[in-house]
Amino acid sequence: MNSNLPYVALRAFEMVVRKSGFSAAADELGVSQSAVSQHVKMLETWLGTELLIRGARRSAPTSEGRILARTVEESLGRIDEVCNDIRRKKYRNNNLVVCCPPGFAFTWLFPRVLDFDLKHPEISLSISTDTTNDNRLPDNADVGIRYGLGDFSGLYSEHLMSEEVFPVCAPHILPDASTREAKAEHLQGLTLLMDEYGNKSGTPPDWHFWARSCGIQLPSRTRTRSFAQSNLVIQAAIQGLGIAMGRGPLVAQALQDGKLVRPFSHCARSPYSYWLVCPHSAHEYPQLQSFFLWIQNQTAEAGHATQMPSNLA
C-alpha cells in the first residue's frame, strides 16, 4: 500500500464530484468550503493534472477525474461493506433499519409497519428517512428503498414496484371531476402542485412529462407551488391548495378514502420506480430476506405494478 496516498484529499474530491460542487461537499463532510477546495487543489498538484472543470455553481469532473472519482467511490463502498460485515458479526441482534424517502415512509410504509411486526415479532424494524440517491447507504441503515432509474452500481438492488402518474385534487377543486372528464382548460387559474426531484437522472414524472405523454397542452400561464417532499404535495392537494401530479402508490389510500379525486382519466407510466437496495454482502442475511419477501408481498396485495420498467427489463 502506498503510504503517501492523500486519502483525505481523495475523499474530499470524490464528494465534490458526487455532490457536483464544493459547497454541498463541504456540508456533507462537515468542513469549510475552503478546506475542501484546498484538498482538491493539493490532489491535482500531487497528480500533476486537473481533475475538475470548475463552474460558478457546479463543478464537473474531467475524463480522468471521472475515472478517479468512480474508483474512490467503489473503494469506499467496499470498505463500508467490510466494516458493516464485521459489525454484524460482533453485535448479535435482530434490529433492522430501513431508510427511504420521507414521502414513501409517511404515506406508504408507516401504515404497514404493524403488519410486519405481527408477522416478524423476532425482528425490531426501525425506519429512517433519506433523500440522497448515492451508491451507498447511510451508516445506520441496513436496507434502503430508493426511487429512480435503478442505477445504484454500488449496491445490490431489486425492483420493487413501478408507478403511474396522474392529476389528483380535493373534490371541491373541480366539483364535476367524479362525474365528468376534465379538460386542459380547466387547469387555467388553478395552482399546479409540484414535486422537487433534485438531481435524479432521467426525466422526472412531473406535469410536463404527463402532458407530453398524454398529448395534452397545459395552459401557458399557470401558478405553481413546489414542495421538497411528496407527502407535502399530497397534503397540499388534500387541503385544496391546488391540483397535484399524483404518484400512484402514494395517493392510492387518499383516493380510496375520498380525500382526493382524479379529474382526468389520462395517466402516464413513470420512468422512475421503487427499488430495494442493500450492500452486496448483506442481501442473504435472514432479516433482510424476511423484509424483502414481506414488502414484495405488500406491494402485490396493494395491487401496485411490480413488473420491471420496459426500458430496464
What pLDDT, in 10s, does the model give residues 68-95? 888 888 877 777 777 766 665 544 468 8
CATH class of 164-269: alpha beta
155 close to 222: Cβ distance less than 8 angstroms:
no
CATH 1.10.10.10 domain locations along the chain = 7-85
**Cα dihedral sign, 24-108-135-210:** negative
pLDDT of residue 304: 63
- pLDDT < 50: residue spans in the chain: 1, 90-92, 305-306, 308-313
182-213 CB burial, b ≥16 within 10 A, e <16:
beeebbeebbbbbbebeeeeeebbbbebbbeb
Return the C-alpha cell found at 204: 422526472
CATH 3.40.190.10 domain locations along the chain = 93-161+272-302, 164-269
| Residue 227 neighbours by CB distance under 10 Å | 18
Mean pLDDT of the chain: 85
H helices of the chain, in order, are: 7-19, 22-29, 33-47, 63-90, 102-104, 113-119, 207-214, 230-238, 248-256, 286-302
Residue 70, phi then psi, degrees to nearest 5: -65, -40
Instruction: Pick 93-161+272-302's CATH classification: 3.40.190.90, 3.30.56.10, 3.60.20.40, 3.40.190.10.
Output: 3.40.190.10
pLDDT of residue 60: 86
51 close to 72: Cβ distance less than 8 angstroms:
no
pLDDT of residue 86: 65
pTM: 0.70
CATH of region 7-85 = 1.10.10.10
pLDDT of residue 175: 67
pLDDT of residue 313: 31
| Sequence-ordered list of residues with C-beta below 8 angstroms from that of 198, at least 6 positions apart, any chain | 131, 133
In 3D space, the residue among 164, 167, 166, 170 whose CA is nearest the CA of residue 260 turns out to be 170
